[in-house]
Chains A and B, each alone.
Chain A
Amino acid sequence: MKIFNFHLMPYAHVDVEAIRKAGTAWVNFPNSFYDPKKGADLYHEYLDQLEFADELGFDGVAVNEHHQTAYGMMPTPGVLAGALARRIKNGQLAVLGRALPLVNNPLTVAEEFAVLDNLTRGKVIAGFVRGIGAEYHTMQMNPAESQARFAEAHDLIIRAWTEPGPFHFEGKYYKIRYVNPWPRPYQDPHPPIWTPSSGSLSTIRWSAQRRYTYCQTLAPISAVAQTFRIYREEADKAGYQAAPEQLAWSNAIYVGETDEKALRDIRPHLETYANDFLSRNPVMMAPPGYTSVESVKRMRAIKSFMKSRQTAEDMIERGVVIVGSANTVREKLAAYQDMAGFGISLTKTQFGTMPHSMVQENQIAIAKEVLPYFKNRQPQPIKAAAE
């Protein structure tokens, strides 16, 4: 298994009470709650953490993209990746991702990844996403065109990376007389493409057909296992067998001295992360056309469940996160890998309001107590209960 250190870069100094009052940390949660002096310090702490992860031997570091939210301060992940590009010496650098339908000209994304790929001499992983529903409010892009724009932007970027330029691209949404980006990507033919998603069937199928690595965002491990099973089935239908490296699970891990102490120490940060930073108006999350009518109905059905606050125990119990002693974390991660069959763990070591020193201790503990046990570890077949 490869273990990446994934960062969301939350605005950890946020006034949590204000989020609760507003009912959302997204879209129209006022940016007057952002203090640039505190924010600047956070950016440096978070980048220090990712550089530290690279020194500690994580297989890579990862950033992502969200707009107008206290949940993550990375509206332009390429800038953060650029700051890391000359400091990451050992592992890979993943941008998970750029939200393709949110830009007016996807060539800018092709250019950005190509520059990063050159800067890192081929360590870049290119994440392609649609962005979450809230992003269609913040960036004012039409959610009814989200899927079609994503598909067309993808085709444009891949052609821009692989076909000799200049050529003329004439799509429904993007019409570009001269496609001829400089630089070309360092990797041949282009950086690996990863597709993070919350589990939409169409994305899983699309990703499996193209052999892209599918990343499942925060979800209970049973749902993750189900999603990965569908990916493998779609790969079978496409005529090949999916490798574990095509499946990445996005999680959060916290290692403490004992299970009890780990839970006690992480509880406030984990619960604030899940209940406040992630809180948003459900209407905001499902703009029309962003997901199918069926998905919206499914979301409405579980609305009552989403309304109740999650406890740290809930999240641990359901395998959304792994918290405990080094031994517990190793056992659970191995069990989950066997259960879901993934080859990549996208692991957040900071979440919510976790302070810098606590994150560094967590990173050190994971590097010492977890990483060595998972080098080259493949999913094992689960022994039947009868044996």
Chain B
Amino acid sequence: MTEDVKKTELELCGARISIMRAGHGQPLLILRGGDASDDWRPFMDALAAKYDVIVPEHPGFGGKAKPEWLDSTRDYANYYLDFLEALDLRGVHVVGFALGGWIAAELATRDCSRIASLALVSPFGIFEQDAGGLDTFLRSEEQGVRDMFHNEAVAEAELARVLAPETEDVRLSNQITIAQVSWTPRNYDPDLRKWLHRVHARTLIVWGAQDRILPAVYAQAWGKLIPGSRVEIMPDCGHAPQIEQPERFVRLVDSFIAEQRATS
């Protein structure tokens, strides 16, 4: 059953973005990854059954020009601090995927006062020597979609959905914005790990055991860097647990949030 999804636009910091929002309850902010498309996925639906789910499109995505001020992921972090203020969100649960997880972590090192919990799902942002992984910028679009998933049947279904000819312009334009913030250093910020001890929100780190883009050894590294965080490895799962195993993923996030409510 699809929730009633409201689409609105927001003009902030000179950038116009669209926001999808559905559900009732405590606010839950989803920061998308670099695969950002504007569709509403089943895992969002499941979360909207319990939360007020807010899914912004990152500035510079969706075929819109990259903002003048956007040089790095740090700029996104500061932008989303403004965003939380602009929407006056308090006690918000932030769930960030890949690039969005990186943004969420940067944001949380700056200010956690509006954040109730943080879920980082296969986030970029730190570098581990010898951890391996794929150079996403040397992969074709088709390879890029396949790289995301462990289950080939899921990959096949995603290929048809993601590589629709009518979204080619938007995908190519998104890639420019992604390159702007993640080309060099490749997918990380050398300063971030120095300050992750400043993340004061309770944090869940979720990783697919078969993540080929960013191997699961990164999950342990994040776990060590963020004090008191919990690491959950999802078996039979690649880089996008929310797409590959939406039900298990939503249960994981929901029970983490519920546990926190019980303790606080």
Chain A residues in the interface with B (C-beta under 8 A):
27-28, 136-137, 140-145, 281-284, 287-289, 293, 296-297
Q: Binary interface profile of B, 10-48, with partner A (CB < 8 Å = 1, else 0)?
A: 000000000000000000000000000000000000000
Q: How far is the CA of A287 from the CA of B177 in the complex (A)?
A: 12
- CB of B66 within 8 A of CB of A144, answer yes
- CB of A289 within 8 A of CB of B140, answer no
Q: Binary interface profile of B, 91-108, with partner A (CB < 8 Å = 1, else 0)?
A: 000000000000000000
Enumerate chain A residues within 8 angstroms of B178, measured Cβ to Cβ. 288
Chain B residues in the interface with A (C-beta under 8 A):
66, 137-140, 168-169, 172-173, 175-180, 183-184, 186
- CB of B138 within 8 A of CB of A284, answer yes
- CB of A297 within 8 A of CB of B138, answer no
Known A283-B139, A293-B172, A297-B168; contact A144-B179, beta-carbon cutoff 8 A = yes
Contact of A143 among B66, B140, B183 (CB under 8 A): B183
CB distance from B124 to the nearest CB of A (A): 16
- CB of B139 within 8 A of CB of A288, answer no
CB distance from A29 to the nearest CB of B (A): 13
Enumerate chain B residues within 8 angstroms of A28, measured Cβ to Cβ. 138
Enumerate chain A residues within 8 angstroms of B137, measured Cβ to Cβ. 137, 283, 287-288
**Majority secondary structure, B binding face:** helix
- CB of B184 within 8 A of CB of A141, answer yes
- CB of B172 within 8 A of CB of A288, answer yes
Contact of B180 among A27, A282, A289, A297 (CB under 8 A): A289
- CB of A142 within 8 A of CB of B180, answer yes
Enumerate chain B residues within 8 angstroms of A281, measured Cβ to Cβ. 138
Contact of A293 among B139, B173, B180, B184 (CB under 8 A): B173
Q: How far is the CA of A281 from the CA of B143 in the complex (A)?
A: 13
Among residues of A, the one whose C-beta sits closest to the C-beta of B135 is A137
Contact of B183 among A142, A282, A283, A293 (CB under 8 A): A142
Q: How far is the CA of A28 from the CA of B183 in the complex (A)?
A: 17
CB distance from A140 to the nearest CB of B (A): 5
Enumerate chain A residues within 8 angstroms of B183, measured Cβ to Cβ. 136, 140, 142-144, 287-288
- CB of B168 within 8 A of CB of A144, answer no
Enumerate chain B residues within 8 angstroms of A140, measured Cβ to Cβ. 183-184, 186
- CB of B138 within 8 A of CB of A137, answer yes
- CB of B172 within 8 A of CB of A145, answer no
Q: How far is the CA of A137 from the CA of B183 in the complex (A)?
A: 9
- CB of B172 within 8 A of CB of A296, answer yes
- Best-buried of B168, B177, B184 by chain A (most CB within 10 Å): B184
- CB of B66 within 8 A of CB of A142, answer no
Q: How far is the CA of A355 from the CA of B159 in the complex (A)?
A: 48
Enumerate chain A residues within 8 angstroms of B172, measured Cβ to Cβ. 288, 293, 296-297
- CB of B168 within 8 A of CB of A283, answer no
Q: How far is the CA of A296 from the CA of B175 in the complex (A)?
A: 12
Contact sample, A vs B, 7 pairs, CB 8 Å cutoff: A142-B183, A287-B137, A287-B183, A288-B179, A289-B179, A296-B172, A297-B169
- Best-buried of A27, A282, A283 by chain B (most CB within 10 Å): A283
Enumerate chain B residues within 8 angstroms of A283, measured Cβ to Cβ. 137-140
Q: How far is the CA of A141 from the CA of B179 in the complex (A)?
A: 10
Q: How far is the CA of A282 from the CA of B138 in the complex (A)?
A: 9
Enumerate chain A residues within 8 angstroms of B184, measured Cβ to Cβ. 140-142
Enumerate chain B residues within 8 angstroms of A296, measured Cβ to Cβ. 172
- Best-buried of B138, B178, B183 by chain A (most CB within 10 Å): B183
Enumerate chain A residues within 8 angstroms of B176, measured Cβ to Cβ. 144, 288-289, 293
Q: How far is the CA of A145 from the CA of B66 in the complex (A)?
A: 11
CB distance from A146 to the nearest CB of B (A): 10
- Best-buried of A144, A283, A289 by chain B (most CB within 10 Å): A144
Q: How far is the CA of A288 from the CA of B60 in the complex (A)?
A: 13
Among residues of A, the one whose C-beta sits closest to the C-beta of B174 is A288
Q: How far is the CA of A36 from the CA of B168 in the complex (A)?
A: 45
| 4 nearest CB pairs, A to B | A288-B175, A288-B179, A144-B180, A289-B176
Q: How far is the CA of A296 from the CA of B173 in the complex (A)?
A: 10
Among residues of A, the one whose C-beta sits closest to the C-beta of B171 is A293
CB distance from B212 to the nearest CB of A (A): 17
Q: Knowing that A287-B137, A288-B175 touch, tell me 13 more A-B residue pairs with CB under 8 angstroms.
A: A27-B138, A137-B138, A140-B183, A141-B184, A142-B180, A143-B179, A144-B180, A145-B180, A282-B140, A289-B180, A293-B169, A293-B172, A297-B168
Q: How far is the CA of A28 from the CA of B175 in the complex (A)?
A: 22
Enumerate chain B residues within 8 angstroms of A137, measured Cβ to Cβ. 137-138
Enumerate chain A residues within 8 angstroms of B177, measured Cβ to Cβ. 144
Among residues of A, the one whose C-beta sits closest to the C-beta of B173 is A293
Q: How far is the CA of A27 from the CA of B183 in the complex (A)?
A: 16
Enumerate chain A residues within 8 angstroms of B180, measured Cβ to Cβ. 142, 144-145, 289
Q: How far is the CA of A143 from the CA of B172 in the complex (A)?
A: 13
Among residues of B, the one whose C-beta sits closest to the C-beta of A289 is B176
Enumerate chain A residues within 8 angstroms of B169, measured Cβ to Cβ. 293, 297
Among residues of A, the one whose C-beta sits closest to the C-beta of B178 is A288
Enumerate chain B residues within 8 angstroms of A282, measured Cβ to Cβ. 140
Enumerate chain A residues within 8 angstroms of B179, measured Cβ to Cβ. 142-144, 287-289
Q: How far is the CA of A261 from the CA of B173 in the complex (A)?
A: 50
